[in-house]
Amino acid sequence: MIKINLKLFVTLSKYLPKDSECLEIPEATSVEKLMSDFGIPGDLVKLIFINGKRQDSNYRLKNNDRVGLFPPVGGG
Amino acid sequence: MVTSKFEGRYDRNFNTLSRKEQKTLGASKVAVIGLGGLGGGVCEMLARVGVGHLTLIDGDSFEASNLNRQLLSEEHLIDVPKAEAAKNRVNAINSEVIVNHLVEYLDESNMYERIKNADLVMDCLDTIDIRFILQKAAQKASIPIVSGAIAGVAGQVTTIFPGDKGYELIYGKKGGKQSKGIETRTGNIAYCALFVAALQSSECLKVLLDRGDILRNKLLIAELWTNTFDIMDLV
């Protein structure tokens, strides 16, 4: 198992699991699997940031990764 | 435009800006597309700081639901075109700014013609698909874009140079088919709109003056409930 820090922004924050700052998950879980395991609707996620860098949903998570998920923002 | 008929107009810009930089701003041409929550704040700040030429474009007119956040909106301006209000506001703040205002929606047929003479475009739009059209036109005209977007109390800012992937990195390849983001559900709050407009204005000056750190291939993300401020690498 590995530990990650998960942050969900704006409308996604309601899906934030307990202990999100130190979330235990199996090693090499993909972001896509992470979203499905924790009931985060993938179609609402537009941007995936791992340790401050944009990644896609196939990215396989490593210990201590900081994960941020962002919905589409387009207002002016 | 360092010398002004209002002597001392730019005194408090110095020496954060040099006199040479002030002159550069005075000669700069910026197009502001979208004159709502972001665009209103951007007009105010660029006119005050001394950007000399502003092209202000929006086909929309004010309605009551704009009053909660749009700096240019006033009760007596309901049904008045936003571009007219923007021109009047800029003239009232700084009559030395040369304003070209267009009450017009932009699409693929007219975008390039309207922006091609600008040094920089401020993307203050509220639809995602039009942003892709803007990027195509700006790339053709070799003009950088400073883009802002908001939803609720969250916002994002990036700067796109000719040749960059730009919006594709933020909204995805299919993003151009999408019109709206989550702002349809969150609404937009005044202080977030003006906060993001301020970041865009800062970014605009840095690009015009070739100074400071620019958000090229980076996305500044802010969320004000949690005081989250991050700069993410898009590539």
ipTM of the complex: 0.93
> What is the C-alpha end-to-end distance of chain B, expressed in Å?
38
Report the DSSP beta bridge partners of residue A30.
Answer: A60
Is B42 within a domain? Answer: yes
Q: What is the mean pLDDT of chain A?
A: 96
In which domain, by residue range, is B160 found? Answer: 11-233
C-alpha to C-alpha distance for B35 and B125, rounded to whole angstroms: 8
Joined together, the tokens standing for residue A31 give 């972001």
* Average pLDDT of the residues in B150-156: 97
B38 within a domain of the structure (yes/no): yes
The domain tally of chain B equals 1
Average pLDDT over residues A24-49: 96
In B30-59, the residues whose Cβ lies within 8 Å of chain A are 34, 36-39
Look up the CATH number of the domain holding residue B148. Answer: 3.40.50.720
Banded pLDDT at B174 (limits 50, 70, 90): confident
A9 near B CB under 8 A: yes
Is B5 inside any structural domain? no
pLDDT tens track for B110-151: 999 999 999 999 999 999 999 999 999 999 999 999 999 999
Does the pLDDT of residue B5 top 70, yes or no?
Answer: yes
Answer whether B186 touches A (CB < 8 Å).
yes
Of A71, A61, A70, A69, the residue nearest A4 (C-alpha): A61
The torsion angles phi and psi of B33, rounded to 5 degrees, stand at: -110, 120
> pLDDT tens-digit profile of B47-59?
999 999 999 999 9
Q: What mean pLDDT do residues B35-42 have? A: 98
Is position B112 within any domain? Answer: yes
- Mutation for A interface: B177, B179, B232, B234, most A CBs within 10 A: B232
**Comparing A8-17, A31-40, B100-109, B166-175, which segment has the lowest mean pLDDT?**
B166-175
- Min Cα–Cα distance to chain B from A76, Å: 4
Contact A55, A31 (CB under 8 A): yes
Q: So what's the pLDDT on residue B176?
A: 67
Asked if A46 and B172 come within 8 Å (Cβ–Cβ), the reply is yes
Spatial distance between the Cα atoms of A20 and A5, rounded to a whole number of angstroms? 6
Distance between CA atoms of residues A13 and B13, nearest Å? 40
B176-221 tens-digit pLDDT: 678 899 999 999 999 999 999 999 999 999 999 999 999 999 999 9
* B180 in a structural domain: yes
Examine residue B227 and say whether the peptide bond preceding it is cis (omega within 30 degrees of 0): no
What is the domain partition of chain A in residue ranges?
2-63
Please indicate if any CB of chain B lies within 8 Å of the CB of A73: yes
Q: What is the mean pLDDT of residues A38-60?
A: 96
What six digits make up the tokens of B12? 């408090």
Asked whether residue B6 is assigned to any structural domain, the reply reads no
Interface of A with B in 29-48 (CB under 8 A): 44, 46-47
Which pLDDT score, from 0 to 100, does residue B1 have?
55
A3 in contact with chain B, both atoms CB, cutoff 8 A: no
Percent above pLDDT 70 for chain B: 98
For residues B43 and B67, is the Cβ–Cβ distance under 8 A?
no
